[in-house]
Amino acid sequence: ETPVLFKKELQNEEAKEGKQVKLTCELSKPGAPVKWMKGDTVLYASEKYELKQHGTVAELIIRDVKSIDS
């Protein structure tokens, strides 16, 4: 089976504190499982994080951005 690769890698984004930011990447295979991480910590859907996946595009929305989120 072919490995899943990034067609469009994650880009750095800037956001003002208290606002939200959306991180997006594109994969080579639709519906491939995506695990969002900050360092060694896996991020899960919550009030702070929204995870979406549409075909080959995966998105992470971080709400109420703080400097610790960088």
Query: Cβ(43)–Cβ(49) under 8 Å?
Result: yes
Reported as type and span, the H/E element at residue 18 is none
A 10 A CB-CB count for 54 gives 9
How confident is the model at residue 17, as a pLDDT? 94
**Residue 66 pLDDT exceeds 90:** yes
Please name the fold of domain 6-62.
Immunoglobulin-like (2.60.40)
How confident is the model at residue 45, as a pLDDT? 96
- Nearest partner of 60 among 5, 18, 10, 16, judged by Cα: 10
**What is the mean pLDDT of the segment spanning 40-62?**
96
7-49 confidence digits (pLDDT tens): 998 888 989 999 999 999 999 999 899 999 999 999 999 999 9
pLDDT class of 59 with cuts at 50, 70, 90: very high
Residue 69 to residue 61: CA distance in whole angstroms = 12
